[in-house]
Structure 1
């Protein structure tokens, strides 16, 4: 199963949802797809979706999926890679009114350089990104939270 998750911010990502619909319609995506579409107003025709999910439902779908297609949000990406999911990340872009700037390009590039995700910087390449992500082997995510907390504690104590 493929889980498309677009976060809960006020920004639409219709461009991605339409492309997933198109790929399913063309038979390029054959897996079951479920999407959490957030503030997008495009209504998918070839797969199930909900605008927003409660935490329990989100976690249940995440646990069942093999792949996550998501925007370039840090939380969405880290949440998926922590669970060992194959991730295809597509940046929201300012020119399409999907965000206020193009910072998601940089975030996705960083995650790609760490070999944690498959990047898809052009939504027209989504089909090949999905196919490529299936066979790639990614690094395991390592949190630096404990290191950060130790550094913070040392700073406070000094």
Structure 2
């Protein structure tokens, strides 16, 4: 496995590991457990390594990952309780309305709560700030995956979460 592919894989794995912590704190004022802190630090290290990669290395890594990842075609359908829970989460998250500064975080919160990731708001804030800090390389990755400049403009111009 090439270094660039290994780095891209580590960034994704560290992000998912952080997101799947079972006892993640919901509010930013609460401290992280040592395990959560290690996962977050690893994610930061991988993003810093990603910043050092050239756009060409990123493009090659994305191409290699796309060739090795196989997506199942069958999509499991949620039951009625899951649908009601998801709708309730969406209502709660958007209860105070939205604006251009919060809409991306709110949508991410809805998605995370609908798929059952606990502590979604806290994780979303930490990871979205990390992504914002390294957005140039994230944009390079998404561009290599085929997104257009018009699709990437909101990420380019987004205010810091």
Interval of TM-score (by shorter of Structure 1 and Structure 2)? under 0.3
Structure of higher RCO (CA pairs closer than 8 Å, 6+ residues apart): 2
Between Structure 1 and Structure 2, the one with more helix by share is 2
What's the TM-score once normalised by structure 1's chain length?
0.24
